Structure 1
Amino acid sequence: MTNNGSPGRPTGNEPLGSAELEELCAIIYARTGMVFGESKRYYIERRITDLMEASGAASVRAYVAMLKDDPRAVEPLINSFTVNETYFYREEHQLACLSRSILPDIIRTKKPGDRIRIWSMPCSSGEEPYSIAIWLLENWALVDAYNVEIIGSDIDTAILKQAAEAVYSQRSLSRLPDAVVRRYFEPEQDLPRRLIGDLRESVSFVKANLVDRASLSSLGKFDVIFCRNLLIYFDDAARETAVDNLHDFLAPGGYICLGHTESMTRISGLFEAARFPDAIVYRRAGGA
């Protein structure tokens, strides 16, 4: 393998040449907004080898041609390039901020029984949106006074199926207190553990792409959006599109939570920083 633009390790019956690498990266970018290039050659080669074998393509060139001719062939490609690093109660301080500061502010303009909509994306295998549901049951006394709707979305169709199944390993559960695991997961002698039915039904999962507005059109407005560790994978153009969509699908006065390395104030003037005791989050500017 080389990283200087020359063909790398063999993929199928030919090496992954610079032209094919560029075309593959362009397809991934067009569908996801995620930027890959020569520096990610080894990462790409490993995934393309398996995808080619599964598709029956005889060469890299034939596989690229298949991606261009058959939109159905692109879905496994996109699924293989998404990053699904997650576990329950990840960045717990933001969950604390949700129950102690964000929701108390949001319900100032709502009455008991009103709907509160929370969007988790990318939701990966479901740990994040289910964490929100568990946290609110455990830590927000008013959870039953409002109609809380939690939506999880991702562009990876395979991972969405895993999320709906809600079966988790010890690694996913490692941050949860034992009492919480016992309350919200089906009793099992061994791992993995499955989330109880009531909680599985409390979260809806949909395929959506933050840089493709058409895929978001049916989602409606949200009071809170968790969009953590996604914008870092975009270039400036894709990031601007993503942020515009986040703004448009966030209700006036709504909040967005980003990953700990991300800062909305460096990206857009559409949001203002909200500094709460537990976390710094972002509020849709101009909203009341």
Structure 2
Amino acid sequence: MRDTVHVNTPRFDTAAQLRQACRQGRFDAPTSGLAEGFQQGNIVILPSAYADDFLRFCVRNPKPAPILAVSEAGDPKMPSLGADLDIRHDVPRYRVFRDGVAVDTVTDLGALWRGDFVTFVLGCSFSFETALMRADIPVRHIEAGRNVAMYETNIQTIPAGPFTGPLVVSMRSFAPQDAIRAVILSSHLPQAHGAPVHIGDPAQIGIADLAKPDFGDAPVIRPGDVAVFWACGVTPQTAIRHARPEIAITHAPGHMLVTDLRTEIA
């Protein structure tokens, strides 16, 4: 699956500007590198009957699913993440699952919204990319105008109720000295997945070919680069495949909710 970043991606100085562009149908591209300094979030929207089990799944798997906020049932507003935020309209692209199968990608949830929906917003590795760029560490997919590469692994998550499945990781490649700095910087941001889960040989975590990611775009890897893998918020989408709720909605991989929370190094 490939999602290519728009060539002429506009600049957004604030998260609110980006959300307004999504709401008005002016932006539907991946969000990596945009609204610098604002935390980005993966989203999972489920019927309330599944909410308790999914909450336990997140608590048991905090690396791929660090919780930023959970909504009340049926409430599309999440004021702790943004005063004007409306989860029905403010994500560039949503992925719709029926009985655990991804059946559609949409840019607005107005026609699908239900009174029993509970929204989970989970931390995203895009949030620590600001820290890397501020430290003059090249983030190759941003420089190339691509979505980050994401892969399913042979690492299993800890089940909770019907939710289970493999860990998904995002991969960024660096010169060795930059890889060390990226590990240190990301470890200070646990709400953005924290330190990586693997460094080096992708075969050790079940990835056969880095050039063929399961989600996102093919990575940019330069001679001598070290591959670094972080837990990814697409992991809950693999758990939805196993849980098979009658309906579930997530972000399309790489197309995040951008919140008003600031990205800060502890």
Bigger radius of gyration among the two: 1
Report the TM-score, using the length of structure 2 for normalisation. 0.29
Higher helix share: 1
Higher strand share: 2
